[in-house]
Amino acid sequence: MEDRFDTLNENQKNEVMNFLQITGTEDINNAIHYMEMSNYDVGNAVNLYFQNQERGGDFNFGSSTRQGPIGNQLPRSNNNNANNQIQDPLEQIVKEYKRHLDRKGQQEDSGITGMLKKTFRATMNGARNIWNSVMPIMIRGETPGGEEFRLSLRKQFPDLETYNFQNGTFEENMQKADESQLPLLVYFHIEGNNASSQLIKQILSNQQIKTYVNKSFHILGLNGRSDQAKSLLQYVQSSSYPCFACFKKTLFDKTELLNLIVITTENSSTDYYLEQIKTAKQNFYMLLSEDDKVKNALKNRQEQRRQQRENFINEHIFGIPPPPPQLTPDQLAAQRAQIEEDRMLRQAQEEAFKEAERQAELQLRQKQEEEQRKKAEEQRKKQAEEERKQQIEIKRANLPEEPAKSHPDAFTIAFRIPDGSRVMRRFLKNQKIQYLFDFIDCKDDLEFESEERKFDLVQTFPALSLLEHINKSINEVFPDSVQEIIIVKEL
């Protein structure tokens, strides 16, 4: 197939080459279409090209379906570098953001109609704000938001001094937070789910958390069973209540959930929740800085194209050479200020990343220390159990046999166990009190609350502690008796 460029006359070819050189584009077919729309007036063609680029449009007049010796490359270059096909991710986001702004702008009417609509909306918003501030919720008849939560919280905790919770719906507060460039922190309240009322009250009244949240967030509270909370189930499931959820609006006006902090009795430390809230703030400002990069890149691109078009018109239409790239003192000061701002922003981001890494390392170290402590405790218990078994075997081997009931020196003892039962055992009067303790210690079926199994053998009347006479004989302690009731008392 014959290429379109070869069908042009020499004058037209020169004009097309001039167009390519001025605009910096390399698409032959696009260049020919711009020239045809401008009746081969290179000035009008370039002006049309830059206007289209400012609108974010990238016209492609069938170049991908055309084949020939020239293709999409300039005739002066045969280089087919694959890297030219790789698009900068930031540039792609900038283009998408530009298209979003264009679509958003097209939805706004211009002229008198647009002014009337904007005036009407402003009037209605003002009236609604007055209505919301004066009329009670149930009279207003709208879906309750922050007001409903604040009323119910005041009923549950009348004297609670808590965060600066805002009135209004989630959508209203999301818009206010976005306009103030603050993260929206939503507290979803419910009783008896994952946390106790005492823990919730402790977190909501903590002075450190309260000061930090009021300073760093736009804060909203919602009842977990309210219609407003149910409308946000796509972000936060009800099984996570009570919890904090941090939200942000994206460049494309979409609501995004950044962090979810679930309040549970497993984490009862207020310091834990304060650190989680600080992390949510750091995530918000890191994303906000990324948004600013996109906005600044779009602003710079629009300014660059405006300057290119202005230079072209001055040079090719009015014959005015382009001015040298010279900055005014104000521009130099602004440039230095921007460099310093960028440096401080990078420093803040690096500090935020380091803090996040430090917290992660701290949590990992605490987890490892806890695991080591548990292992050491288990080893200690295991060793103590082994030692106790050895001692019991020695005591059991050294324990004298029980004498016959008819033995003249037999002494009968009824041991009363803490569970109310009794154990009978005969000893000889000349045997040591120590054997009584060894006998009870060797009874594996006797359960004690303490692992050490420390106990005393006592007599209630008259009051007597056998632990104080452990080295005496039974006859020395009970000279006029042949039987006694002894109580096993755990120490």
CATH number, domain at 21?
1.10.8
pLDDT of 184 higher than 50: yes
Q: Tokens 């804060």 sit at which residue? A: 219
Q: Looking at the domain assignment, is residue 316 inside a domain?
A: no
Rg of the chain over CA atoms, in angstroms? 42
What is the pLDDT averaged over residues 420-434? 93
- Confidence band of 117 (pLDDT split at 50, 70, 90): low
User: Which domain, by its residues, includes 19?
Assistant: 4-78
415 and 470 inside one domain: yes
126 and 150 inside one domain: no
190 and 273 inside one domain: yes
Concatenated DSSP letters of 6-30: HHS-HHHHHHHHHHHHHH----HHH
151 and 285 inside one domain: yes
Q: Looking at the domain assignment, is residue 297 inside a domain?
A: no
pLDDT of 7 higher than 60: yes
pLDDT of 80 higher than 50: no
Q: Give the pLDDT score at 106.
A: 67
pLDDT of 58 higher than 60: no
Domain end position, chosen among 290, 310, 340: 290
- Least-confidence region, from 14-23, 279-288, 430-439: 14-23
Highest mean pLDDT among 14-23, 57-66, 216-225: 216-225
pLDDT of 404 higher than 90: yes
pLDDT of 182 higher than 90: yes
340 and 245 inside one domain: no
285 and 419 inside one domain: no
The model's pLDDT over 305-328, given as tens digits with 9 standing for 90+, comes to 888 777 777 776 677 777 766 677
Q: Looking at the domain assignment, is residue 62 inside a domain?
A: yes
261 and 211 inside one domain: yes
Q: Looking at the domain assignment, is residue 387 inside a domain?
A: yes
> What is the rounded CA–CA span in Å between residue 348 and residue 362?
21
> What is the rounded CA–CA span in Å between residue 3 and residue 347?
55
pLDDT of 373 higher than 70: yes
66 and 204 inside one domain: no
Q: Looking at the domain assignment, is residue 295 inside a domain?
A: no
Choose among 439, 416, 419, 417: nearest CA to 427: 439
- Least-confidence region, from 98-107, 286-295, 322-331: 322-331
The model's pLDDT over 193-236, given as tens digits with 9 standing for 90+, comes to 778 888 999 999 999 999 999 999 999 999 998 999 999 999 99
Domain end position, chosen among 241, 267, 290: 290
Q: Give the pLDDT score at 76.
A: 36
130 and 147 inside one domain: no
211 and 264 inside one domain: yes
Q: Which CATH number fits the domain that encloses residue 203? A: 3.40.30.10
69 and 208 inside one domain: no
Q: Give the pLDDT score at 47.
A: 77
279 and 156 inside one domain: yes
Q: Looking at the domain assignment, is residue 85 inside a domain?
A: no
Q: Give the pLDDT score at 389.
A: 87
Q: Looking at the domain assignment, is residue 403 inside a domain?
A: no
> What is the rounded CA–CA span in Å between residue 322 and residue 333?
23
Q: Looking at the domain assignment, is residue 481 inside a domain?
A: yes
Q: Which CATH number fits the domain that encloses residue 435? A: 3.10.20.90
Number of domains in the chain: 5
What is the pLDDT averaged over residues 273-289? 94
> What is the rounded CA–CA span in Å between residue 312 and residue 320?
9
